[in-house]
Structure 1
Amino acid sequence: MTTKKPPIPIPLLMLIGIMAISFSSIFIKWSDAPASVQGMYRLLFTSLLMLPFARPHSGAVHKLSTTDWVLLIFSGIMLALHFLLWMGSLSYTSVASSTMIMALEPVFIMLGAFVLYKERTAASAMLGVAIAIGGVCFIGWGDIGVSADNLKGDLLSVGGTAAVAVHMLISQKLVAQMPSYLYSLIVFSVAAVVFALYNLVMGIPFFDYPLTEWGIFLLLAIVPTVFGHLLFNWMMQYLSATTVSMSILAEPVVASILAYLLLSENLSNLQWAGGLLVMIGMAVYLWAERKKVDSVPPALENAS
């Protein structure tokens, strides 16, 4: 994990990113288009918005090795799979249940980071993870797996969580050696192409959608993708994949509140209590990670 300090305070960046990605499930619920179409245009529009600002990073493209390109393509495939499965899960289960399962992402990433990068997590940080995971379990307890449709949605969300964990682990490796902006642009473009091929093979229409749907596609690109995923990819220059994913544990809390306000999805007292546990768990984890960074000797810190 790098110890560079970002030009903007990390807590502010995390707050912006969490708020942005929390609107994703709301926009998806508002749309009647297939999940694969939502995902395709979400990533296509994001790539088009990013393209005019990519020129300063164009020189880095020539430095990419064959291995880098393979990893970039695989990361894009995993991102597309994440969106396809998770966005699809919202057709079968509630926002609270789906985002609760997605919040298990740090568990997948911690295991992967240990296996691939030998990245160890302090006991105090693990305690924070346990508290936060317990909190998100409370959030989704009221409606998880009680019917065949809910169970299908839950399984789709688990698959989407595993896919995004792989995507984040690849991000940690590649962003350390190439501009995060270029990484995001390439991966988003690859994922958009994957969606286009999927829709073509499945015979899903590309254009036959009302104007309101196109507005939702654009909102999905700007809000949760640019100010969410793109921002979190950029933060990977300064934080580990585990730390970034841990911040996303706040998404079930914010998304559930938004679903209550905008979709009339009710929350129980147990779910509100879970939200409090998530915040406590995040605070414990981030405190433990900050202690680890602060303990790095100055000479080693400058070497990064």
Structure 2
Amino acid sequence: MRRESLFLIALGVGVTAVSFSAIFIKWSQAPAGVLGMYRLLFTVVLLTPWIWRMRHEMYRLSGKEWWLLVSSGFFLGLHFLGWMGSLRYTSVASSMILLNLGPLFVMIGAYLFFKEKLRWQALIGMMIAFTGTAMIAGMDIELGPTALWGDFLSIFGALTVAIHMLIGQKLRMNISFLVYSYIVFIVAGLVLAAFNVVSGVPLLDYPAREWGLFLLLAIVPTIFGHLLFNWLLQYVKAITIQVAILGEPVGAIVLAYFLLGEKVTLIQGVGGFLSICGIAWFIRVKDAAGVRQVENEWQEAG
């Protein structure tokens, strides 16, 4: 089998793996803060043997870099709190499609704070994506305030992960992906742990089924999904992976139909199609313009 075929198979495995993230969350009865905390901390435990070999890189980090790492982890923790919480109130379709607005928020922030160029063709993609988003939100308004609150939480998750990526943009120039992810995951997990303690949420009193789901969230969408994507970046163009990741909401919607019995309305379907097409066009134009690939870190948040 040719190397290109193996990479495409690996890409398909990664998209399928991340698509299961929303399903595991829906299956769980645990609070969003607990789900996010154990997903991150279990991932940290699984990564520790590899990170131990790279510990000298952590010793060389400056005080400013540590401060930025803590800030990045803080917003990643807020991302998990918002997005995972959204799945308690709205459908998998609405939550996943709205979450994919993250790359657009990243580039808006890059334009405002880093003065990165944004071509007018990319703005067309943004407008198409936001039109699709408005259709989904309009549909959820009819379903009641609960679904709309879930939409808000998903958009909050997209915004906070965008801040997390913008902070990490310069850090990733000098810090390897594994070391960066390891430290940020620890900080985000501790942020969620603090939130759970302050909120009075139990940390340990969960049945074996829940612990199995916590572990599955760490292994399937994180290890076989996001970390696999980052390994593939050595061999596959970033734009290929970015566009492939747009298959995550599609995969999650299909899985939700068969495993959760969630149906997609016509308006949700059309809005989701417009949103995904708009984001794909936006990424394609941005890549052609040579703008920095700040969404690469987006892969670790879904």
Calculate the TM-score normalised by the size of structure 2. Answer: 0.82
Task: Give matches, 1:102-181, under 5 Å.
Answer: 102-135=99-132, 138=135, 142-144=139-141, 146-181=143-178
Of residues 198-207 and 226-235 in structure 1, the stretch that sits farther from structure 2 once superposed is: 226-235
Q: Deviations over 1:118-152 (max 9, x none)?
A: 22233333333444444455566543563121122
Task: Give matches, 1:169-248, under 5 Å.
Answer: 169-231=166-228, 248=245
Aligned partner of 1:55 among 52, 55, 58: 52
Distance 1:201 1:8, change over 3 A: farther
Distance 1:18 1:31, change over 3 A: same
Asked if the contact 1:175–1:236 (Cα under 8 Å) also holds between the matched residues in 2, the reply is no
Letter in 2 for 1:81: L
Are positions 1:19 and 2:10 aligned together?
A: no
Match of 1:284 in 2: 281
Match of 1:3 in 2: none
Letter in 2 for 1:160: G
Letter in 2 for 1:218: L
Tell me how far apart the structure 2 counterparts of residues 285 and 13 of structure 1 sit (CA, whole Å): 25
Distance 1:252 1:225, change over 3 A: same
Measured after TM superposition, the shift of residue 196 of structure 1 is 1.7
Letter in 2 for 1:202: S
Measured after TM superposition, the shift of residue 199 of structure 1 is 1.8
Distance 1:170 1:220, change over 3 A: same
SS at 2:54 equivalent: helix
Letter in 2 for 1:94: S
Of residues 34-43 and 121-130 in structure 1, the stretch that sits farther from structure 2 once superposed is: 121-130
Measured after TM superposition, the shift of residue 240 of structure 1 is 11
Of residues 129-138 and 262-271 in structure 1, the stretch that sits farther from structure 2 once superposed is: 129-138
Measured after TM superposition, the shift of residue 175 of structure 1 is 1.2
Asked if the contact 1:20–1:224 (Cα under 8 Å) also holds between the matched residues in 2, the reply is yes
Letter in 2 for 1:150: A
Tell me how far apart the structure 1 counterparts of residues 60 and 215 of structure 2 sit (CA, whole Å): 32
Of residues 68-77 and 107-116 in structure 1, the stretch that sits farther from structure 2 once superposed is: 107-116
Distance 1:12 1:135, change over 3 A: farther
Measured after TM superposition, the shift of residue 81 of structure 1 is 0.7
Measured after TM superposition, the shift of residue 14 of structure 1 is 5.7
Are positions 1:39 and 2:36 aligned together?
A: yes
Match of 2:253 in 1: 256
Calculate the TM-score normalised by the size of structure 1. Answer: 0.81
> Alignment identity in percent?
48
- RMSD value over aligned CA atoms? 3.3
Tell me how far apart the structure 1 counterparts of residues 17 and 289 of structure 2 sit (CA, whole Å): 28
Aligned partner of 1:71 among 41, 57, 68: 68
The unaligned stretches of length 5 or more in structure 2 are 292-302
Measured after TM superposition, the shift of residue 264 of structure 1 is 0.7
Asked if the contact 1:113–1:119 (Cα under 8 Å) also holds between the matched residues in 2, the reply is yes
The aligned length equals 288
Distance 1:155 1:207, change over 3 A: same
Tell me how far apart the structure 2 counterparts of residues 131 and 250 of structure 1 sit (CA, whole Å): 17
Match of 2:298 in 1: none
Q: Deviations over 1:79-135 (max 9, x none)?
A: 111111111111111111112221221221111111222222333333334444444
